[in-house]
């Protein structure tokens, strides 16, 4: 089956318009696929493994904006700190501290999102609402001049049950709007993937992370 990457991108972009930023999730896909999307004008790509993202960054045009969308281990932050644009899945203070340290070494400011656990299933990382609010109030944050917390990210349960997706996204939507009023830097709500981005957009997502609907199914 052949996949028309440029056409898929065009269709999704015209569907979302100016409502949301599209992160093209290129994990496991070859650099030639990214080049096709790049040649179609796309610049924002998401990866979930630091090593893979770092290799692709090395080999591909330098005006690509790389987003780390996966779970991050603190000991690997140093490899992406020179170039990563946005870290979507910050799940604890210790990780934020390490990102700040490595950003500072590179004389950069790295944008971060806090991952909220919204899925009713138990397999996903992330903080609950109380943990997020506690982190945002933590006075240590004042010293972290090299990270900027821009908003929240969440992953819904992998399900076709629309009512469940709505419940999960609406919990994140509410938390986002509450915090947005308190946190001056908040402007990003990252939620929605190939299977559920339409529902996510109905719940005020302004950044969607779409892989297989652009690049085709992944063979792990
Ligand atoms: C893989 C992945 C995506 C994209 O998934 P698709 O279903 O292929 O669109 C989005 N977000 C995260 C965190 C991912 O790991």
Strand ranges in 155-206 using DSSP code E only, listed in sequence order:
188-190
**125 confidence band (pLDDT: 50, 70, 90):** confident
Distance of alpha carbon 143 from alpha carbon 39, whole angstroms:
41
**124 confidence band (pLDDT: 50, 70, 90):** low
Instruction: Please give the number of the atom of ligand 1 that sits closest to the Cα of 215.
Output: 8
pTM (2 d.p.): 0.96
Q: What is the pLDDT of residue 217?
A: 95
**pLDDT tens digits, 147-170:** 999 999 999 999 999 999 999 999
Ligand 1 site residues, Cβ closer than 6 angstroms:
25, 27, 48, 69-70, 155, 193-195, 209-213
Strand partners, 116: 127, 154
Among protein residues, the one with the nearest Cα to ligand 1's atom 12 is 69
Domains of the chain: 5-213 (3.20.20.10)
Q: What is the pLDDT of residue 73?
A: 95
DSSP-H helix ranges across 47-86: 50-59, 77-80
Dihedrals phi, psi of 115, to nearest 5 degrees: -85, 125
For residue 70, what is the DSSP state? S
CA of 141 from ligand 1 middle (Å) equals 29
Say whether pLDDT at 122 is over 80: no
CA of 153 from ligand 1 middle (Å) equals 12
Say whether pLDDT at 40 is over 70: yes
């Amino acid at each position: 089956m052949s996949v028309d990457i440029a056409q898929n991108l065009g269709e999704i972009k015209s569907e979302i318009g100016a409502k949301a930023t599209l992160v093209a999730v290129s994990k496991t896909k070859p650099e030639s696929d990214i080049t096709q999307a790049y040649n179609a004008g796309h610049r924002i790509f998401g990866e979930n493994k630091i090593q893979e993202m770092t290799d692709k960054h090395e080999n591909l045009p330098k005006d690509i904006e790389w987003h780390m969308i996966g779970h991050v281990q603190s000991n690997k932050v140093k490899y992406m700190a020179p170039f990563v644009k946005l870290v979507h899945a910050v799940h604890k203070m210790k990780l934020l501290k390490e990102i700040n340290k490595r950003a500072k070494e590179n004389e950069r400011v790295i944008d971060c999102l806090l991952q909220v656990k919204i899925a009713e299933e138990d397999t996903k990382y992330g903080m609950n609402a109380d943990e997020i609010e506690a982190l945002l109030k933590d006075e240590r944050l004042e010293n972290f001049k090299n990270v900027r917390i821009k908003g929240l990210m969440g992953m819904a349960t992998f399900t076709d049950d629309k009512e469940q997706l709505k419940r999960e996204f609406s919990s994140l939507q509410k938390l986002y709007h509450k915090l947005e009023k308190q946190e001056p830097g908040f402007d990003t709500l990252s939620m929605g993937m190939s299977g559920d981005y339409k529902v996510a957009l109905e719940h005020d997502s302004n950044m969607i992370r779409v892989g297989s609907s652009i690049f085709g199914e992944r063979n792990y």
